[in-house]
Amino acid sequence: MTENYGEDNLIGHTETFLNEVYSNWSDSIKALETCEEVQTFAEDLHIVSRCIDSLAMKACSDPNMFNWSEVGHNCAQNEAEHVGDNWWYYDVSLLSLPLYKRLILAIESKGMKSETVAASLIYYLRRFLPLMNRQSSFKDTNHATIPTTSEADQRGLLEEIVELIPNKRGVTSSKHLLRLLRTAMILHASPSCRENLEKRVGSQLDQASLVDLLIPNMGYSVETLYDIDCIQRILEHFMSIYQPASVAASPCITEIGTLIAGADTLTPMTMVANLIDGYLSEVASDANLNLSKFQALAAAIPDYARPLDDGIYHAIDVYLKAHTWLRDSEREQLCRLMNCQKLSLEASSHVAQNERLPLRVIVQVLFFEQLRLRTSISGWFFVSENLDNSQNPSGNLGFSKSSQKDSTEIAENVRERLLELEKECSCIRKELQKLNKTKKSWSIFPKRFGFRRKSDYSNPNESNNVNSSSP
């Protein structure tokens, strides 16, 4: 069959035919699929490797460089795919896992973008794993799932594909990574596979959304509705990457210094802080969520990462509402997770009327609100006085009168608000005096704020001095 015995032999015809097959995308796919039936002979004749090289080269090339009529009917089903990098996803998903893996590795070795490779791997998984398509917003009919024979096959497929996904931040969206993690839990994938996915999610947790973090608890003994421990591990991995070393070593560092030192990491950290606060608000209504788990997850976020503590306050309020049996000491311990000085005016107003909170917390919030208003008034009067002194009476007389009128109205509003706060503080003091009769050892103000009980005063003069400084 060689040319040694004459011209126009079978070997020559076969090579000519195969060259035509390799030059055509659709024919190469069909030939590679057919090789699975006679893979041993196809490997010996290098047909498999040549088909893979041909397909990898075409996938990495510009699709406009060759005629789309040669691509085949599979890709022609959706001409919109021809414009992007995903035109070849469907065709290669028809291959068995061993051949698909070899093709993906060949495509990656030829310089294909990591994002494109990862997207193809996700596409392949979604065709064979029904769990990957739950809560999916994809409308492409090409994503129709082909059920595999058993759960063991699905588990093996998942573990192998996860190993192929490029390990680079942002290559795969957090949405898909969390869906992979959820599927791995349901299929009881290996611990190394789940740990791998948790670390990948942790490295880009700031890109995740709240709805994707709500992973149901897959444990045999279900304690909570959602898997809190999994999110705790993901958060710890994120913190190990993004928390500045100076902050981890010295938590008492000033906020301004932290903001300057960690300027590059502040935005991801703040985004994760908001995300975790939202997550805590969602899971706090679970009656089976114990206090230690809630505290551990909330305390993992450093104080500087929260510009406002409204989010963590909302989560605490939801938790207190769902866990009415908590003792007073546990309520106070829970409220230490938030910084009363970092609540907005709206949140502070809610705290003042919240009967679920300990009285100590309410008083602290009112004190800081009053202190903040006094500081604002002092600063406003200082600025107003400087403006009045700098105005030119002859040139800006009309402006001066109007500004003085506006200033007077603002000052009246501020004074009214201050009087309201002072009335609220006075009512709370009366309540404290009543409580003091039954609980003599109970103190309302922390010593760091300079407040002491009356029994602590050594002489009347000292008492008067202290009382004169109280709000």
Indicate the residue among 62, 95, 112 that finishes a domain: 112
Give the angle subtended at the CA of 268 by the CAs of 291 and 251, to the nearest 5°: 60
Q: Which residues pair with 216 in a beta bridge?
A: 226
- Give the residue from 450, 440, 442, 441 showing the smallest Cα distance to 471: 450
Q: pLDDT at position 185, please? A: 93
Q: pLDDT at position 264, please? A: 47
Indicate the residue among 49, 83, 112 that finishes a domain: 112
Residue 177 is assigned to a structural domain of this protein: no
pLDDT in tens, 369-383: 777 666 666 655 555
- Amino acid symbol at 245: A
Q: Which 3 state secondary structure label does DSSP give 226?
A: strand
Q: Residue 254 burial by CB count (10 A; 0-12/13-18/19+): exposed, middle or buried?
A: exposed
Q: pLDDT at position 458, please? A: 44
Residue 271 is assigned to a structural domain of this protein: no
Contacts of residue 285, defined as CB under 8 A and 6 or more positions apart, other chains included, come to 318, 319, 321, 322
Q: pLDDT at position 406, please? A: 59
- Tokens found for residue 358: 């300990």
- Residue burial 39-75, b: 16+ Cβ < 10 Å; e: rest: eeebeeeebbebbbbbbbebbbeebeeeeeeebbebb
Residue 220 is assigned to a structural domain of this protein: no
Cα 109 to Cα 16: distance, rounded to the nearest angstrom: 28
The count of structural domains within the chain is 2
Residue 308 is assigned to a structural domain of this protein: no
Give yes or no for a contact between 306 and 342, defined as CB atoms under 8 angstroms apart. yes
Long-range contacts of 146-150 (CB under 8 A, 24+ apart): none
Q: Which 3 state secondary structure label does DSSP give 129?
A: coil
pLDDT in tens, 195-241: 999 999 999 999 999 999 999 887 655 678 899 999 999 999 999 99
Residue 355 is assigned to a structural domain of this protein: no
Q: pLDDT at position 240, please? A: 92
Residue 375 is assigned to a structural domain of this protein: yes
Residues of the chain with pLDDT under 50: 68-70, 72-83, 136-143, 246-264, 392, 394-399, 439-471
Indicate the residue among 91, 112, 133 that finishes a domain: 112
Give yes or no for a contact between 277 and 209, defined as CB atoms under 8 angstroms apart. no
Expressed as residue numbers, the domain containing 81 is 1-112
Residue 297 is assigned to a structural domain of this protein: no
Residue 454 is assigned to a structural domain of this protein: yes
Cα 182 to Cα 135: distance, rounded to the nearest angstrom: 12
Cα 92 to Cα 304: distance, rounded to the nearest angstrom: 48
Q: Which 3 state secondary structure label does DSSP give 86?
A: coil
Long-range contacts of 165-168 (CB under 8 A, 24+ apart): 165/118, 165/121, 165/200, 166/108, 166/114, 166/117, 166/118, 167/200, 168/114
